[in-house]
Structures are given as C-alpha cells and as structure tokens.
Amino acid sequence: MGGTSPALQLDALEVAVRRRGSGWADAPAARAALDALTADAPGLDALAPALDDLADACALDPFDQRVVAVALLAEAHPVAHLLLGLLTGDGAAGLPTLALAVELAGASVLDPGAHARLAPGAALGLAGLLRLVGGGTFATTRVGLQPRVVAHLLGRRDVAPSVRGLLGEAVPADVVGYAEVAAALDDDEPLVWVHAPVGAAGTGLAVAACRALDVGCVVVDLDRLPAGGDGPDRATALAAVRAAQLEAVLARSVLVLAGAHTVGPDLVRLVADGAVPVVAVGATVWDPRWAPSLPPTVTAGRLTLAQRAERWALMTGHDVATPDVVSLRMTPEEIVKVGRRARADAGRDHRAVQVDDVRRTARRLGGVAGSRVRTQGTSATLDDLVLPVHTRREVERLVAWARHRDDVLALGDLHGKGGKGTGISALFSGSPGTGKTLAAHVVADTLNMDLFQVDLSSVVDKYIGETEKNLERVFGQAESLNAVLFFDEADALFGSRSAVSDAKDRYANQEVAYLLQRMEAAEGLTILATNLRGNLDPAFARRLHFMIHFPDPDVPTRRALWEHHLAQLPGTDPDDPVDLDLLAETVDVCGGDIRNVVLGATYDAVTDGTPLGMRHVRAATLREIAKLGRRLTDARW
C-alpha cells in the first residue's frame, strides 16, 4: 500500500496545513498537532500491513486506500482527530469531510472520478467500510470508518453487536445439491438461493460447497432475530445483513445467510450493493417477483439415516446412536447443538451420555411456549397401546414410515411429484375413548417429536379467508417445530363438501379445498382423528397414506385394558382381588372409560388408606356407567 499508510499520509497533511497559510487562525494548533503525529509515525506505520490486507480483500485502488487511511487516522489517533477537525474548519476535533478526504487523497473535489470512487456502487461502498455522517454535500458530509473496521485494523476481532448473536457454526453436510452450489460460486455468481424445507441440511450444504472450493464462510442465521407477529422487523433484518456482509468482507469469506426468506424481497439489492457472494438459505422457494433476474437455485437434501448415525456417534458415542436417536429429523447444526448440550449435562454428573439425555435435549430444542404444543409429561410408548393386532401393526408401520422417510427420499423423487410435499398423513377413526389421541401421543413420543394439537375453535373463523390464514399458520408452525400436527375431532372441520346453495357453502368449500392442497404440500407428519369415518370427504382419502380404524374393544381387548391400567399400581388388595373376567365380560366400555374407572378407584383407595380392591373398582365402575347414561343389567352387579 505504498504511499498510503497513516504515517505517509502525514505528507498530505503537511501540504494541507501549508495551503491554509500562516494567517490561518488555527495554524499554531494545527502545526503542533502535526508535529505530535510525526513523532508517532513509527506506531502509525505498524497499521500498514492490516491496511494492505484490507485493500487486497476489497479490491481497493490507490485513491480508495488513501481515503481509508485518512479515515483511520481520525478514528485511531486523538491528535489526528484534532488536526482533521481543524483542517475541516471546526476549530476542534472532528471527522474529516468528504472534501477534505478527497484533498488528502491527492485529488480535486471537482474531479468526477473522485466522486465516482465514493459512490455507493464503487469498491468502498460495496465493501461497506465507510460511515457517512450528516451533511449532504462533499463539503459538509463527514466520513469515518465503521467501528467494526476500526477494530479489525487495530487487531481486535470484536464482532458487530448486530451480528454476534446471529453467528452460526459452519457444519458441512455433503447432501444433494452442494456440488451445484459450489459450481455456481466458482462461476462467480453473486447470489445462490438454497431452498431448505424443514429438516433439510440447507446451511450444511452451503458450508460444504465453500469447503469444496477451499474458501471460508461466515454463517449468519436471521431466524434468530427478535420476531414480532409477522417475523423480524424489516429494518433490523436489513441492518443485520449489512453487518453480516461486512463480517464476510473482513474474513474474505462467502456469506451463508440462513433464514434468508426474512429479507427475500430485498435480497437482490443487498447482494448487488455488497462485495461478497451470498448463499441464501430460505424456507421457501425463490419468488420470481423478488427480482427481474433469476439466481441459481438448489433444493437442499436431508441427511440420510446413515449420515445422522455417523454424526450422532461422533458427538455422543456409538452407544447413543440408537434408532430412536438417529430418527430425529435434525439438521447438522442441530445435531451439534443437541450433542454438546447432552454431553455437558452428562459431564456435570460425571457419566457418559445416554439416550435419555439426547431425547430430553432434543425436546428442549423443538419446544415452544403455547398450550397447543405438548412438550412435558411422561413419554407414551407403544406398550401403552392396548389394541387389536392389526391396528397396532398399522400404528407401528406409521412410525416406521416416519423414521425411514429420509432414506426413501434419498432413493429418488417418490415424494413431491406434481406439487405434493414430502410429508406423511394419517387418519385415525373410531369411537371416543378407543385410543386415537393416545396413539397420536405414542407416535410423537416414539419419534421424539412434539405433538402440535390443534384447537379447532382457534382455527375456524366466521370471516371469509381467515380460516385459510389460520390453517397456514398452524401448518407453518408445526413444520418449523418439526412437530406432529394432530387435528382432533377432524370431522368438525373436514366434513364432506356440500352442494353450493348459498355464499356460505361456497366459502366453506373453499376452506376444505385449501386444506386439501395444504395437506398435500406439507413437509411434516399430519394425523387426523375423527369419531365418524363416514363424515370424511372422499377427496381426503386419496391424500392419506394411512387410514387406521380403532374399533370398540372386544372382551379379550377389554380384559387386556383392565390389566394394563391396574398394572400401573404398585399392587392391589389380596383379600379383595379385582375380578378381571367380570369386568371384561359385563362392562362394555372403551379404553378411555376403563382408565377413568381405575383412576377413580385409585383415589377412593388412597382416601380410605387401603390397597385398591374390587370394592373400589365396583363403585367407580357404577359411577362411570351412570355418567355415560347407561346401566349394568348383569345380576352379578
């Protein structure tokens, strides 16, 4: 950076002081300040290597370099701050004006080339090194360096506050699409859009592409920005992207921008005004309305089960990489985050990581506050389901589909043809109390996922178009949480479409049509539960992967249900044994009712201070039957 280090800028300052002449009122103070700066010339020269490196990273020409050197003097040395303020005419310390910076850079304020070099689209503007304060003209606008640039040149590595909490770890993932991103970057494409559906390794794909080219990357996640009702504040998001671009400039790296859908409409302008290539990772496909031209676009793949197993083994050990853990549909970054937390929690107890540590931490990663998301409580297992053999096998098959979905997707485009999503949908039908809701909990717990149980009263809206918006929010939130979406009593919303007799029918049918389309485009696991299977529109059946019927329990199933619920107790009264055969043969109720009877009998036994016996079960049964509006006619009662 010959002739442009801060120390060598002293020659330009000397010329500027002489130009003002001895009659200049501030001449004595300016001369004293210049002498003090000259004495510090060796210290100022120590900044030259950092300036050289910055100039090379940002492709600055000699004029640009001298402007940066002048601005650095004002930011880094108090005496230079005073001298530049005096030369500007302030009579005190201050930043130089653009006019003074141009003068000290050896150009004329009337030179069009100098004006062009300071325009937003020139190298200095693209790099984002300068900060302009006030004014509006060359003579009044002050120029300095961004605080982050000053820190960098002085050898500090303080990340800008607006970026510090958004920085992510660069975890590469060699999934489908990374080679295409690497090729686009190698062709000097300024922007590459990566569509990353829920669970896809979009950020890892971008990191892998940079690694393939042997270039660094700065990973920033805009989804971490504070969000209002419709996402982060636009101005805050744009400021974060600008700061992230500067971090990438200083690191000579590609910017990997996760959560890029947050700033989608502004992204092209942001990239055009920046000096680094950007790989934007968004949860949505590229919207052609965002820009007149189309960037290269790639859809990110997901980690296969084998890849997940390898990463879990690396983070927690081979013993923890069980099928239950490997089935978690997590991105590479999430696996690292959960694995580290699980290791830290186990280390605090001076023991090895266990599967339960990972399961518990994974729930914390996906859980959010809200009454519709079940994240606490004892996990339900397949052993809690007392069902006919065929029904249980179908539930197990649903779990297996969800576990192995990514492996199936990796084999080819079996999912997603014709606008369909890669999700799995199931219908649970049967009378109340037959185990539909419990089965949904079992599926979620077995897959280590949260259950997003939809409150229908909060979805259906009397105003036209609002139900569709509510449904979109429900699907979007469930997908973002990687939760099982469970619509209970689905027949209340998904009933058969009717003939259009008035405007109300027409809009109701539109809601059903929208739901059909959204279910097909879903990326997660959706379960519908209905008491009356005949009420379901036939169009839904064509969009369901599973239709599982939960029949009313027969005598053997009822006996198994009584045994299962009573087995939860530490013991029963041996002097008053529970007659399971009598209960199974004469009490024709469902599993939910049996659970209520056992619970009521247990409370009675605890109140009496005695073990639970048939007397307690008999009284609780009679109460439950009366509550259902029925009577027991068998003489044994």
Statement: residue 496 has pLDDT above 50: no
Where residue 480 falls among pLDDT bands split at 50, 70, 90?
A: low
Mean pLDDT of 464-471: 67
**pLDDT above 60 (res 175):** yes
Q: Name the band, by pLDDT with cuts 50, 70 and 90, for residue 47.
A: confident
Question: Would you say residue 439 has pLDDT above 90?
Answer: yes
Average pLDDT, the chain: 84
Mean pLDDT value of segment 569-597: 93
- CATH T-level topology, domain 382-550: Rossmann fold (3.40.50)
- φ/ψ (deg, to 5) at 425: -125, 145
- Report phi then psi at 536, rounded to 5: -80, 135
CB 353, CB 317: distance < 8 Å: yes
Q: Residue 74, class by beta-carbon neighbours within 10 Å (0-12 exposed, 13-18 middle, 19+ buried)? A: buried
- Name the strands in the sheet holding 546-550, side by side, starting at the edge strand that comes first in the sequence: 373-374, 451-454, 484-487, 525-530, 424-430, 546-550
Predicted confidence (pLDDT) per residue in 399-416, tens digit: 999 888 877 877 776 665
pLDDT greater at residue 636 or residue 117: 117
Q: Residue 261 and residue 235: Cα distance in Å, rounded?
A: 14
- Kindly state the percentage of the chain with pLDDT values over 90: 39
The pLDDT confidence band at residue 637, using thresholds 50, 70 and 90, is confident
Residues 141-150 have pLDDT tens digits of 999 999 999 9
pLDDT at 21 over 60: yes
pLDDT band at 300 (very low <50, low <70, confident <90, very high): very high
DSSP-H helix ranges across 385-435 = 389-411
Which residue bears the tokens 């999430």? Answer: 334
pLDDT given at position 3: 46
Per the structure block, which two tokens stand in for 508? 């109701």
User: Which one is the CATH code of 555-627: 1.10.8.60, 3.40.50.2300, 3.90.1200.10, 3.40.1030.10?
Assistant: 1.10.8.60
What pLDDT, on a 0 to 100 scale, did the predictor assign at position 280? 96
Least confident piece of the model among 337-346, 389-398, 500-509: 500-509
CA distance 478 to 453: 9
Place of tokens 């040395």: 77
pLDDT of residue 120: 82
Strand spans (E) along 61-199 = 130-133, 142-145, 191-195
Average pLDDT on 246-265 reads 92
Q: What pLDDT is stored for residue 234 in this prediction?
A: 80
**Please, are residues 308 and 329 in contact by the beta-carbon 8 Å criterion?**
no
The pLDDT score that the predictor gives to residue 334 is: 87
Lowest mean pLDDT among 130-139, 247-256, 454-463: 454-463
Residue ranges covered by each domain of the chain: 9-153, 163-299, 305-366, 382-550, 555-627
| CA–CA distance, 83 with 86 (Å, rounded to integer) | 5
* pLDDT tens-digit map of 553-568: 999 999 999 999 999 9
Question: Is the backbone of residue 504 left (phi > 0), alpha (psi -120 to 50) or beta?
Answer: alpha
Q: Do domains 382-550 and 555-627 have the same CATH topology?
A: no
Name which residue leads in pLDDT, 242 or 366: 242
pLDDT digits (tens, 9 = 90+) for 59-72: 899 999 999 999 99
What are the Cα distances from residue 380, in Å, to 182, 363, 385, 424, 440?
44, 14, 9, 21, 10
Q: What is the pLDDT of residue 408?
A: 81
pLDDT digits (tens, 9 = 90+) for 522-536: 778 899 888 876 656
Radius of gyration of the chain (CA): 34
Tokens found for residue 363: 């729930």
For domain 163-299, the CATH architecture is 3-Layer(aba) Sandwich (3.40)
Query: What is the average pLDDT across 171-176?
Result: 91
Cβ-contact 620, 604 below 8 angstroms: yes
Identify the CA nearest to 68 among candidates 136, 134, 11, 4: 4
- The letter for the amino acid at 123 is A
Q: Which amino acid is at 320?
A: V
Judged by average pLDDT, the poorest of 418-432, 471-485, 488-502 is 488-502
Q: State the pLDDT at residue 504.
A: 46
Q: Write the pLDDT tens digit of every residue in 196-242.
A: 987 789 999 999 999 999 999 999 999 888 865 455 678 888 889 99
Element of type H or E holding 231: strand 231-232
- Amino acid 506: pLDDT: 44
Count Cβ neighbours within 10 Å for each residue of 352-388 and write b for 16 or more, e otherwise. ebbbebbbebbbeebeeeeebbbeeeeebeeebbbbe
With a pLDDT cut of 70, the percent of the chain lying above it is: 85
Q: Which of 219-228, 278-287, 355-364, 571-580 is predicted least confidently?
A: 355-364
